[in-house]
Structure 1
Amino acid sequence: MTRKAMWLLASLGLLLGVLHLTLTLPIYGRLSLEALWFAGSGLAVVCCALMNVVALQSSPPLTRWAVVTANLLIAGFFAAAWPLLPSPQVAAGFIIFIVLAAYFGLLTVWQEKAAQRAAAS
């Protein structure tokens, strides 16, 4: 996958989170405990998407591993939501963040191995 595709996925993840946040009041009508949990889920998606945007800017390996972990956690969140809400946005969220996790994980492993080979030379 190219960096442009990863930017697109990170942007789609951000858009998904923002949409989730903006739908809170139209869906719930007022602030309630359920509405706050709903909004908090959207906020978590926004934060995870923003972490991906930061990691796309040539971050150190530790930062990328943190992003991989965050992506796997949010993908797990979408997977857990699927039995309760089998809808396209849940599937899209899972796919977006699992692909981002794979991209950053593979990129980081590849770069760490390249650095080890260079150091051994």
Structure 2
Amino acid sequence: MAKIISSLIIALGSMHVLFAFPLHANTETLWFVGAGLAIILAGLLNFVALDRHGSSFTMWVAIVVNATMCALFFYAVRILNEPQVYVGVAVFLIATAAFAGQLVQKKQSRL
């Protein structure tokens, strides 16, 4: 589940960056591209956490990053109110829950 949602996050970030190229070259476009790269890097960080066999540290970092991105998308709903923003909220909320669930499972298996 976490791999699928991480792939969706990277796809969302890639589409975000691709939509910036038809825009004009200005500071807003630069911020738009930067936000897309942040989304892509969040997805890649999820894969790093999974690749490290879910060490507690990388899982916690993934949870914090996913929760932060979810909060940023949730804040953006008030400003943009576009469908892709709702997709971002949903995807990062699911990613946060998936990684939190994996962390809880890992802690319980140690007991």
- When normalised by structure 2's length, the TM-score is 0.92
Aligned equivalents of 1:29 and 1:48: distance in 2? 26
Runs of 4 or more off by more than 4 Å in structure 1? none
Aligned equivalents of 2:4 and 2:106: distance in 1? 22
* 1:87-107 Cα deviation digits (max 9, x unpaired): 221111111111111111121
Aligned equivalents of 1:6 and 1:63: distance in 2? 14
Q: How many Å apart are 1:110 and its aligned residue?
A: 2.2
Aligned equivalents of 1:72 and 1:109: distance in 2? 16
Q: How many Å apart are 1:23 and its aligned residue?
A: 1.2
Aligned equivalents of 2:43 and 2:11: distance in 1? 9
Q: How many Å apart are 1:25 and its aligned residue?
A: 2.2
* Cross-structure match for 1:18: 14
Structure 1 residue runs of 5 or longer lacking an equivalent are none
Aligned equivalents of 1:107 and 1:6: distance in 2? 9
Correspondence for 1:35 among 14, 29, 32: 29
* Cross-structure match for 1:107: 102
Larger radius of gyration: 1
Q: How many Å apart are 1:50 and its aligned residue?
A: 0.5
* Cross-structure match for 1:50: 44
What amino acid sits opposite 1:7 in the alignment?
Answer: K
Aligned equivalents of 1:44 and 1:53: distance in 2? 14
1:62 maps onto 2:79 in alignment: no
Name which of structure 1's ranges 45-54 and 5-14 shifts more when overlaid on structure 2.
5-14
- When normalised by structure 1's length, the TM-score is 0.85
CA RMSD of aligned residues (A): 1.2
Matched length: 110
Structure 2 residue runs of 5 or longer lacking an equivalent are none
Aligned-pair identity (%) = 30
